[in-house]
Structure 1
Amino acid sequence: MTLLAHIMISTTYALIATLVGFVLPRIFVSLDTTEGLIAASVVFLIGVQLHCMYIWKFGKTDTVNRLLALHQDYQVTIDRLEENKREQEALREQVYKAGNEKDKEIISEMHVLQTLLNQVIEKSGKSLEHRVDQAHALEGAKQSGKKIFQPDLQELERSDGEVLNIMHHALEGNRVDLYLQPIVALPSRRVVHYESYSRVRDDEDNVIFPSQYLRLAEDSGLVGTLDNLLLFRCIQVIRRLGPRRPDLRFFCNISSISLNDKEFFPQFVDFMMENSELSDRLVFEFAQKDVLRQSSGVRRSLANLGRRGFRFSMDQVMDMNVDLADLGSRYFRYVKVDVAMILEQNLDIHPDDLKESFARYDLDLIVEKIETDQSIVEILDFGIDYGQGFLFGEPRLSSDTRLDL
């Protein structure tokens, strides 16, 4: 109740008391003026008392209502705190699970990379020891006077030893780089995918190209290790890319040596099965000769990956007389054909029917090694949708800002 209301009520009590004190002596003649004033005062005091009782009762009710409101607000606050606590616990659990999953991914990658490094150390060490033994044998033969047919062997051995040493230290010193070459949509030349390549650097950061070390790597058993190390470099790029460019895929070559490595390949398959979210990004690429002679065990493992969403590509095609239906059933999605094979029409399928023949089995045809504008003009007449080659871009370091990542 406001102060103005109290004043008005008190004034009303005073007016009633004045009226009583003025009227009673006239109604009851026996009462004098003093007695009338006493009666007026009693009436005023009774009114004030009644007003105080009303104020007390009203104040008590108001206090009770306020306490109830405060209690309700307190209960709502407690409920909100409990809800926030539950949300915080749920968020903490999610962060904990995400952290554990991330740690598992990192540990898995580190374990695989450690396996690769151990293979590199072991294999390159054996290769170097073998060549040292050969050099000692040759030196002994020379001292004994034996005539040995050895055309340019000294130079070849020195070159092989240097390259092996470079590869050995490059893997230990993290100097195996990922290079990416664009695969483009035609005729727009928009980058839609990338193919991955490895490049090795020596101690002075000079790039050693595959043409310089690939034969030696194959002979010494290192090519599989390099291919798989390249794969994990590619996974690192994918993780940095995150949700950007969701349709962008990375083609990673898997050599026959990796496929037949009984130690690494099962571990590789298990890792990919546990990280099936990479299936939207990675395409594993195999040479045609390796596709045709894959063992039943390798086929089963790749089929398991295919059922998890991973897709495959076949390149180094030498014979177009392939069972496209079989490729499609084995989760192949892409086939790469040399532009020269198409332009020379060295095919069992007429170039005009190529796109339709592949599309029938959900296969995309990519024409590779396109280096001239004349070549692209000719293949566009056949309706080819995808192309790759130096005309569209050479392989660049994955950290190169000119890449459309």
Structure 2
Amino acid sequence: MGVLSLVAAAAVVIAVVVMEVDLVWMAVALLHVAALSGVAFAWLRAHEAAKTAERAASDLRFLAKRLIRLEQEMRSPGTGASPAIRTTMAEVTGTVGLLGGVVRELARNVAAQNRDVADLRSTLTSSAQPAESEKPALKIVPEARPVPVAVPEKAQPEPSLLPRKEAEDEIKRMRLVTQAFEAGGIELHLQPVVALPQRRVRFYEALARLRLSDDTLLTPAEFLPVLERLGRMPEFDRKVLARAVAVAKHLLARGSEAIVGVNLSPFSVKQPGFLASVVRLLDASPEVLGKIVLELPQSAWRDLDTGRKDALAVLRDRGVPLSLDRAEDLAFDARALADLGVRFMKLPADLMITAAEREGASASEWSVRDLATILRREGIRLVAERVEREETVPVLVDLGVPLAQGFVFAAPRAVRSEVLGAKEATDGKPALRRAG
């Protein structure tokens, strides 16, 4: 019986040892599987980076062909700075921007691949070195770990590059917009601003549209970003302002007291010399001084430096009224804006109505119902914009809003070509179009 007990005990010990050895080998096998999986993932990332590099090479060849064509055109006798060359330059500029995205994506993929490989090596090393109390009979010796590539942790990922088809569509859109701009496809549409409650027209806001060669009419949201990317917003704003001056002259000739508001892009306002060119353009037509309102968004008024304030002061001193447009909140200093030359403040109707409804829940320094009075004391007239529903009108009247603008009163209408002058009349456009 004693012998049998010893044999049984020995069998148990042997079984435990074998089990521990099996567990160790199982752990080793799992580590090998993890290593193979990590290597496969790293290979996939490397393959993706290689594909991106191939796309970059293809786009570089595409750019080289365009540059060669541009050089040939520039060498042609008598070519000069033709619209065709400027259009080609726009295409090249757009392509360069897209290739920059390709390079950034390639760099991100390579950095991610290096980081993944370094993490994999680190994981294998830490997994292969158990604690002293848990060391198995078989010791796994890791290989020397290479130094990982440093990747800034705070770097924010940039937007993914557009697929090639979308990139080609974007280049095509840039070309169409540039061609329409060069061909004089800018149209001016006017939307009236009316006095409440009589709804009598007091002035007009000039809204630009761009008509493509296939007669498609683009809204500002569809073509302004393209012009900004190409750096042509100052030229666009000057063209629109020149057309607004022609409209103001037409209104004066008819004996109308209505004035014309023109939006200026924050991009243009920040360009050196732009506001000075606006001063020169208006000085060339002194009869319209006071009849053209220059509108800047609320964000631009909050971002004025000393140089732009001085340039706006020149316009203010010449009698050019200024306006705050595209407001996002009611946080403003009426006195400071008046000192800068602001004579109109355009606030979304829904913004004012919502603020008035919330006044009962919290105290404030002033009431929305007193807003028009506060502004009037500083020489600023309040305009409610984006009035789209008829039921909004009596609420605005109750709030004391003196002026309003929106589709409830009238939709924007295209200016007749003869109003803009003989040059515009040769474009073959109909006398009047409803805004698209």
Residue aligned with 1:238, SS: helix
Aligned residue in 2 for 1:91:
none
User: % of aligned pairs identical?
Assistant: 23
Deviations 1:177-196 (A, max 9, x none): 11111111111112111111
Q: Give, in whole Å, the separation in 1 of the partners of 2:405 and 2:221.
A: 20
Q: Does the CA-based 8 Å contact 2:275-2:311 persist in structure 1?
A: no
| Aligned partner (choices 209, 214, 236) of residue 204 of structure 1 | 214
Give 1:128's match in structure 2, choosing from 94, 114, 119. Answer: 94
Choose 1 or 2 for highest CA Rg: 1
2:392 maps to which of 351, 375, 381: 375
| Counterpart amino acid of residue 249 in structure 2 | R
Whether the 8 Å CA contact 2:298–2:328 is kept in 1: the answer is yes
Asked if the contact 1:179/1:395 (under 8 Å) is kept, the reply is yes
1:357 aligns with 2:374: yes
Give 1:354 deviation, angstroms. 1.3
**Paired amino acid for 1:192:** R
* Map 1:50-129 → 2, pairs under 5 A: 124-129=90-95
Match of 2:411 in 1: 394
Structure with the largest fraction of helix = 1
Structure 1 length-normalised TM:
0.62
Distance 1:188 1:155, change over 3 A: farther
Unaligned runs of at least 5 residues, structure 1: 1-114, 142-146
Contact 1:276 1:309 survives alignment (8 Å): no
* Alpha-carbon distance change, 334 to 239 in structure 1, aligned in 2, over 3 angstroms: same
Amino acid at match of 2:389: T
Residue aligning to 1:320: 330
Does the residue aligned with 1:277 lie in a helix, a strand or coil?
helix
Deviations along 1:108-147, whole A, 9 cap, x unmatched?
xxxxxxx9x8997697355334257569979x99xxxxx9
Residues 1:135 and 1:378: Cα distance change in structure 2 (over 3 Å)? closer
Sort the Cα spacing of 1:368 and 1:214 in 2 relative to 1 into closer, same or farther, 3 A: same
Q: Distance in 1 between matches of 2:409 and 2:349?
A: 14
Q: Which moved more, 1:387-396 or 1:230-239?
A: 230-239
Aligned residue pairs: how many?
A: 285
Amino acid corresponding to residue 260 of structure 2 in structure 1: F
Deviates more, 1:171-180 or 1:243-252: 243-252
Identify the match of residue 289 of structure 1 among 285, 289, 299: 299
The code of the aligned residue for 1:124 comes to: A
In the other structure, the counterpart of 1:9 is none
What SS class does the counterpart of residue 183 from structure 1 fall into?
strand
For residue 99 of structure 1, what is the aligned residue in structure 2?
none
Q: Aligned runs of 1:1-400 on 2, under 5 Å?
A: 124-131=90-97, 133=99, 152-345=162-355, 349-399=366-416
Higher alpha-carbon deviation: 322-331 or 272-281: 272-281
Instruction: Quote the Cα distance in structure 2 between the aligned partners of 1:132 and 1:341.
Output: 38
Q: Take 1:210 and 1:402, find their aligned partners in 2: how far apart are those partners?
A: 17
Question: What code does the residue aligned with 2:400 have?
Answer: G
Distance 1:292 1:157, change over 3 A: same
Quote the offset at 1:170 in angstroms.
0.9
With over 3 angstroms needed to count, the CA separation of the structure-2 counterparts of 1:238 and 1:186, relative to structure 1, is same
Q: Distance in 1 between matches of 2:250 and 2:86?
A: 27
Alpha-carbon distance, 1:275 to partner:
3.2
CA contact (8 A) 2:414 2:432 kept: no
- Give the secondary structure class of the aligned counterpart of 2:346: strand
| Kept after mapping to 1: 8 A contact 2:190/2:413 | yes
Distance change >3 Å, CA 333–CA 132, structure 1 → 2 = closer
Contact 2:413/2:432 (CA < 8 Å) preserved in 1? no
Matched residue SS, 2:225: helix
Query: Structure 2-normalised TM-score?
Result: 0.58
Distance in 1, matches of 2:89 and 2:208, equals 19
Aligned 8 A contact 1:196 1:250 in 2: yes
Return the alpha-carbon distance in structure 2 between the equivalents of residues 214 and 176 of structure 1: 12
Give the residue type in structure 2 aligned to 1:127.
Answer: T
How far off its partner does 1:312 sit?
Answer: 0.3
Q: Name whichever of 166-175 and 129-138 sits farther off.
A: 129-138
Aligned twin of 2:153: none
Measure the CA separation in 2 of the matches of 1:199 and 1:127: 23
- Equivalent residue letter for 1:332: V
Specify whether residues 120 and 363 from structure 1 end up closer, same or farther in structure 2 by C-alpha distance, changes over 3 A only: farther
Distance 1:263 1:125 in 2: 26
- Separation (CA, whole Å) in 1 of partners of 2:242 and 2:89: 20
